[in-house]
Amino acid sequence: MEAAYAILSARGNGQFKGPIHVVTDHAARLQQLLGDAPDIYYLPLSAERKQAFIGPTGYVHRLKPQAIAWATREISHPGEQIIFLDTDTAFLHNIQPWLDQMAQGLVVLNECEGSANAIPNATRSQKRAGEFFRRSTLQVNGVWCPLDPATPLWNSGVIGFNAANVDWFDEATAWIDAIWPLLPIHTVEQSAFSAVLHSHCVPLVDSGEVVFHYHWFKEFRADLQAFFEQLGLHASYEERLALWPAIQPDVRVAPKKAFLQKPKWQRSILRRIGRNWTPLHYPWQT
């Protein structure tokens, strides 16, 4: 559902006219959710390939750089611009600024969370990553590589890059394999990719307001369920495209965001008395 909604938003607010390629092990379900959407191409991910991408350690996010590298080599030629997005994203504005920045040689990433050793309001995992980067070196593929505690750590929900640089994702996989046994946290993939880009001195820019990455708004999955149930299986692609703004996550998240802005003690009391934040009504319910 997340992937289908992201695609609708790319065609809608994103105004993206080009082909969209989806790496998925649920192509039939995605086609059902999108209707007769044009210029959508599927790269079926077999169970065997998926397991190979995850690798023997079972770190599921190792799949990401492996899948990006595989898909890039399958669909593109060196010099072409590629934009990868996580499924939990929705376009708010036209994608053109990204394309302009990439044409200037920049790499577009979702958001910089801060340097490894100085992330504001760091979570426990981020603090562990900062401590890890204070090590002097890391052995990657038998080679000792320097670690820089000032490495900017980026959220990789968006990656806009040139296909000629697909080898970065192979390097990121090697870094993941080196880091994971020493730092088994779920954000190792982002730390590894950030380290690779930092080592290459790559010019980076954040994705700005073009897209909303709602990774911290898991409640939106209930909205997606309601949205696709409201559409039904027989709605045309045009009907789906017209209706998708009804549940834009940047709007749906407002009550939760307001609740989280309250002091922690106040949130705790409100939860205890059953006064947590309340989701917005759906337009088709009024």
Asked, for residue 110, whether it belongs to a domain, the answer is: yes
Asked, for residue 279, whether it belongs to a domain, the answer is: no
CA 50 to chain CA mean position, Å: 18
Q: Which domain holds residue 54?
A: 45-213
Distance between CA atoms of 63 and 68, rounded to whole angstroms?
9
Asked, for residue 126, whether it belongs to a domain, the answer is: yes
The total number of structural domains in the chain stands at 1
Give the residue among 75, 3, 65 at the shortest CA–CA distance from 32: 3
Asked, for residue 63, whether it belongs to a domain, the answer is: yes
Name the H helices within 43-179.
47-54, 63-75, 96-103, 124-133, 167-179
Per-residue confidence in pLDDT tens, the chain, 286 aa: 999 999 999 999 999 999 999 999 999 999 999 988 999 999 999 999 999 999 999 999 999 999 999 999 999 888 899 999 999 999 999 999 999 999 999 999 999 999 988 887 778 888 899 999 998 899 999 999 999 999 999 999 999 999 999 999 999 999 999 999 999 999 999 999 999 999 999 999 999 999 999 999 999 999 999 999 998 878 999 999 999 999 999 999 999 999 999 999 999 999 999 999 999 999 988 6
Q: What is the dihedral of CA 168, 174, 176, 178, to 10 degrees?
A: -140
